[in-house]
Structure 1
Amino acid sequence: MQNIKAIFLKPYSKYVWIGIMLIAWEAIAKLTPVSPLAFPSLEAVVAALINSILTGDILLQMLFSLGLIFVGLVIGVLLSFVMSALSVVSPVFESFVDTCVSIFHPLPGIALLPLIILWIGTGSKAILFIIVHSVLWPMILNMTAGFKSIPVVYKKIGQNYEFSNAKIIFKIYIPASMPYLIAGLKIGWARAWRASISAEMIFGASGGIGGIGWYIFNKRVFMDTAGIFAGLLVIIVVGMLVEDFIFSKIEDRTVKKWGLS
């Protein structure tokens, strides 16, 4: 009994649960009268995934989506840093940023689609706009929360060393609020995924290739349920890889190394 508990308490317990879910999935597909069109077996999903990989469709479309998401994340993080930093320096600008967050943070990017189509069109720039909108506001919320959580004595120490406002932000505020920044980046990454896929399903293929959202939309049109699950599986795998090998490494080199966790 203790050995079983130990398995589920270890870092790789997530993969144990995934294995259990996959077994349950295959059992439902094979042992129940559910239609393969509605719930395909793992064999059919893997076959559809391998076929898409061999043809190169899903890889090109995944890379296209990841490229847009990366650019949108960079723009969103830079904008949120500038706005959060100015909020620290200026109470007037802090009031302005708080107002913007109150207005735009609850507003879904999809709700802006009619205006985006009028202003920008339906290409990659429109998808990028939605990604930046989805990333910007949670990043600002986490950055400002992190900056506000820092003890006032830290800022006074910086002032005693005659640090400029910029140096206080880079040397004190950012390192001390790193857990908040990483949490905001995780939220921004997840919201960027959702925004990109939703926009691609509505706008269609952009840039002549289309992203993973366009891939899933095409599979739905042709009633290829196994292909839909293959697309979803790729999204899940990429998300887990980013979580386990990028964000975890960043946390190891910052939050845990500096003793902030």
Structure 2
Amino acid sequence: MTSLIDSIINGDILMQMLFSLGLILIGLGIGVALAFLMSFLSVVSPVFASFTDTCVSIFHPLPGIALLPLIILWIGTGSMAILFIIVHSVLWPMILNMTAGFKAIPEVYKKIGENYEFNTLQSIIRIYVPASLSFLIAGLKISWARGWRAAISAEMIFGASGGIGGIGWYIFNKRVFMDTAGVYAGILMIIAVGIFVEDVVFGQLEKNTIKKWGVA
């Protein structure tokens, strides 16, 4: 605990944690956007649905770390490589949850949209997203956890990408110098961020949406 307090005071661990959080937020945003596009197209197009199902079957069970040799050849070992691994970890579970949510929408909801002559964008905003919100939030929680683990693992392998490195590099560096207290400090920070995101961020999101609306 003393090591954690010292690291917070001198700012090292906070800077590296913020670096990791920045990467995960960018990767999560890209992954969710791609997943939404692919999921919606899968619902409206049987051909694209077959293509998406094939991609999910191939890539969903494949760990991002297993792609490291190819990623290093194609992208190198910088922040973009870590971002690629995060997007890979986020995309496939998000597609599974989004597709399941869109398919679970009652047909009567879609008919209401047709009666009101909603265009595609209006249907997405007013029907698809609200009706499948519990699936979307569940997908976000799974994707966040997978992306967070992937980011930390990749940082341990790629090192100080972006100049300072992330929390994964912090832990790896402390391990190299046999600083056990520093390793525990890094792990405690990861746990604290995980609890905050799960209980505060997603907890408030669920409270203000699906629980408030009686969806869950």
Conserved in 2, the CA contact under 8 Å of 1:143 and 1:180? yes
Residue by residue, what CA displacement relative to the aligned partner does 1:80-109 show, whole Å, maximum 9, x if unpaired?
A: 011111112111111111111111101100
What SS does the aligned partner of 1:257 have?
helix
TM-score, with length taken from structure 1: 0.81
| Distance in 2 between residues matched to 1:150 and 1:242, nearest whole Å | 28
TM-score, with length taken from structure 2: 0.97
| Distance in 2 between residues matched to 1:161 and 1:61, nearest whole Å | 50
Q: 1:155 maps to which residue?
A: 110
Letter in 2 for 1:167: Q
Instruction: Return the offset for 1:169.
Output: 2.3
| Distance in 1 between residues matched to 2:209 and 2:5, nearest whole Å | 38
Instruction: Give the alignment partner of residue 61 of structure 2, picking from 86, 95, 106.
Output: 106
Q: Tell which has more relative contact order, 1 or 2 (C-alpha 8 A, sep 6+).
A: 2
| Distance in 2 between residues matched to 1:91 and 1:230, nearest whole Å | 50
Q: 2:75 maps to which residue?
A: 120
Instruction: Return the offset for 1:132.
Output: 0.4
Instruction: Give the alignment partner of residue 8 of structure 2, picking from 34, 53, 72.
Output: 53
Instruction: Return the offset for 1:164.
Output: 2.4
User: Between the two proteins, what is the percent identity of the paired residues?
Assistant: 76
- Which one has a bigger Cα radius of gyration? 1
Gaps of 5+ in 1: 1-45
Instruction: Give the alignment partner of residue 234 of structure 1, picking from 177, 189, 194.
Output: 189
| Distance in 2 between residues matched to 1:88 and 1:126, nearest whole Å | 31
Gaps of 5+ in 2: none
Instruction: Give the alignment partner of residue 100 of structure 2, picking from 107, 123, 145.
Output: 145
Instruction: Give the alignment partner of residue 225 of structure 1, picking from 180, 185, 197.
Output: 180
Letter in 1 for 2:53: D
| Distance in 1 between residues matched to 2:161 and 2:174, nearest whole Å | 17
Conserved in 2, the CA contact under 8 Å of 1:131 and 1:195? yes
| Distance in 2 between residues matched to 1:197 and 1:132, nearest whole Å | 13
Conserved in 2, the CA contact under 8 Å of 1:89 and 1:165? no
| Distance in 2 between residues matched to 1:84 and 1:167, nearest whole Å | 17
Letter in 2 for 1:114: P
- Runs of at least 4 residues off by over 4 Å: none
| Distance in 1 between residues matched to 2:6 and 2:123, nearest whole Å | 54
